[in-house]
Amino acid sequence: MVDQEQKLSETKIEQLKSVRTETEDVILKRRSVRVFQKKQVPEFLIKRMLEAGRFAPSAGNSMPWKFVVLRDQEIIDGITQTIIETCKIYKGLIDYRYNGSILRRIIANIIIKSKPNDLHPVPFGAISLIADEKLGLFHNAPTVILIFADERGIGFPTLDCGIAGQNMVLAAHSMGLGTCWIGFPKVAFENTSIWRNRLGIDYPYKFVSSLAVGFPMGKPDGMVARPTHAVDWYEDGMKKTLY
Amino acid sequence: MGNLSKAEKKKIPRYDDQTQIEMGLVQFDLAKCNGCSLCVKACPADAIKLQDKKAKLNDHPECMACGDCVAICSEKAVTLVKSYRYSGRYKTIDQGGLELPRL
């Protein structure tokens, strides 16, 4: 009996050399979706996504997350407006590109020093695009899932929220839905208390990120090329670097 | 010394200087492009526009080489040419060449 099982698993591993698992396919074909159909996602599919999130691992199984599902266009639009208005203020203060403003460059560099992750070149550009209403926020997704972390969680609650979120993303894509991680609502929940009050979000919950969810337009999923990364590999007393 | 020199760690690059902040790049095969504009809508950097019913990169494209445009094109008209390369404190390190998913 044990011999048979072993032979079966060896064959399985041998097959994996030329074939991917379904899960791998979902992971590798997943692209962020920003063009959605108008139709709403059936309730049961969102609940299935939330289940995938519920079963994510977390430090000490503390499950330090709170999911808030928004299917109310008025609320989604409202949060969008707050973000646009905040970005307009930021743009005026810091976008020095192509306009010769030395003052803006000075202010930008000061903020970059104190918040290097927020004003990395990419979000820096995104702030201006959002201010000019050239970049969608939730991309007209019919459902938005906000993810809040319980800041009292074990270890790194934010990390656990990310893991739960990605569980939801992969479940969604495996069901033919499209998703996109949207981090910008941070400015709507941290710079102002309007939305925390409106949605009743109190201590200990802090905004982490959100997911735009909907049926994709066209076929956005598919495999693309991506840069490789240096990986340090320690084995048999040697170290190699693979890409 | 580590991955960044002291000077590099201190330097905040100019975000409008392509020699300091090199963005990614995609290419459009205009013969295949049918002007559907799905790539225009899919791009997270608003880097693509439609000109004369064909896809084209904007003047200062903030391309982050995500490949979403490549994937959504039904005509396979888009190719990812290069990824981004930042300098100074955001210096891109430990990155190799572009590869499709490998078995």
Task: Report if residue B91 sits inside a domain.
Answer: no
Of A33, A125, A224, the CB nearest to B62: A125
Alpha-carbon gap, residue A177 to A162, rounded angstroms: 19
Quick one: angle between helices A73-94 and A121-131, nearest 10? 110
Q: Is the pLDDT of residue B2 over 90?
A: no
Q: Do A227 and B97 touch (CB under 8 A)?
A: yes
How far CA B90 is from CA of A90, B61, B93, in Å, comes to 21, 18, 9
Q: Is A28 on the interface with B (CB under 8 A)?
A: yes
**Continuous H helices in A21-120:** 22-29, 43-54, 73-94, 102-114
Touching B: A residues 30-49, CB under 8 Å: 31-35
Q: Do B98 and A96 touch (CB under 8 A)?
A: no
In this structure, the dihedral spanned by the alpha carbons of residues A59, A60, A61 and A66, taken in order and rounded to 10 degrees, is -60
Of B71, B89, B96, the CB nearest to A227: B96
B6-43 per-residue burial string, b: 16 or more CB within 10 A, e: under 16? eebeebbbbbbeeebbbbbbbebeeeebeebebbbbbb
Task: Report if residue B12 sits inside a domain.
Answer: no
Alpha-carbon gap, residue B44 to B66, rounded angstroms: 8
> By the 8 A CB rule, do A72 and A145 touch?
no
> By the 8 A CB rule, do A112 and A213 touch?
no
Sequence-distant contacts of A116-125: CB under 8 A, at least 24 apart: A116/B89, A116/B90, A119/A94, A120/B90, A121/B13, A121/B15, A121/B21, A121/B62, A121/B86, A121/B90, A122/B45, A122/B62, A122/B64, A124/A94, A124/A95, A124/B15, A125/B15, A125/B45, A125/B62
Per-residue confidence (pLDDT) for residue A8, from 0 to 100: 79
> By the 8 A CB rule, do A209 and A183 touch?
yes
Per-residue confidence (pLDDT) for residue A1, from 0 to 100: 64
Task: Report if residue B98 sits inside a domain.
Answer: no
Contacts of A97 (CB under 8 A, 6+ apart): A128, B15, B16, B60
pLDDT digits (tens, 9 = 90+) for A95-132: 999 888 999 999 999 999 998 899 999 999 999 999 99
Q: Is A122 on the interface with B (CB under 8 A)?
A: yes
| Gap from A187 CA to chain B (nearest CA, Å) | 18
pLDDT band at A6 (very low <50, low <70, confident <90, very high): confident
> By the 8 A CB rule, do A148 and A205 touch?
yes
Task: Report if residue B35 sits inside a domain.
Answer: yes
The mean pLDDT of A127-156, rounded to a whole number, is: 96
Q: Do A228 and B46 touch (CB under 8 A)?
A: no
Q: Which CATH number is associated with domain A21-243?
A: 3.40.109.10
ipTM confidence score? 0.90
Alpha-carbon gap, residue A86 to A192, rounded angstroms: 9
* CA A29 from centroid of its chain's CA atoms: 16
Per-residue confidence (pLDDT) for residue A5, from 0 to 100: 83
Task: Report if residue B69 sits inside a domain.
Answer: yes
Alpha-carbon gap, residue B103 to B97, rounded angstroms: 17
Q: Compute the mean pLDDT over every residue in chain A, rounded to the nearest whole number.
A: 95
The mean pLDDT of A33-50, rounded to a whole number, is: 97
Q: Contacts of residue A113 in chain B, CB cutoff 8 Å? A: 12
The enclosing domain of B39 has a CATH number of: 3.30.70.20
Contacts of A238 (CB under 8 A, 6+ apart): none
Q: For residue B80, give the chain A residue with the closest CA.
A: A225
Q: Contacts of residue A218 in chain B, CB cutoff 8 Å? A: 36, 38, 72, 74
Per-residue confidence (pLDDT) for residue A186, from 0 to 100: 95
> By the 8 A CB rule, do A190 and A196 touch?
no
Mutate to test the interface with A, among B72, B80, B86, B100 (most CBs of A within 10 A): B72
Closest-CA residue to A222 (of B22, B70, B43): B70
Cis peptide before A64 (omega within 30 of 0): no
pLDDT digits (tens, 9 = 90+) for B25-75: 999 999 999 999 999 999 999 999 999 999 999 998 999 999 999 999 999
| Gap from B40 CA to chain A (nearest CA, Å) | 10
Per-residue confidence (pLDDT) for residue A4, from 0 to 100: 82
> By the 8 A CB rule, do A36 and A182 touch?
no
Of A28, A220, A224, the CB nearest to B80: A224
Q: Is the pLDDT of residue A9 over 90?
A: no
Q: Is the pLDDT of residue A65 over 90?
A: yes
Alpha-carbon gap, residue B59 to A120, rounded angstroms: 20
Global pTM value: 0.94
Q: Is A240 on the interface with B (CB under 8 A)?
A: no
pLDDT digits (tens, 9 = 90+) for B11-39: 999 999 999 999 999 999 999 999 999 99
Q: Domain range holding B61?
A: 30-85
* Structural domain count, chain B: 1
Q: Name residue, tokens 């996504």.
A: A49
Per-residue confidence (pLDDT) for residue B1, from 0 to 100: 60
Q: Is B94 on the interface with A (CB under 8 A)?
A: yes
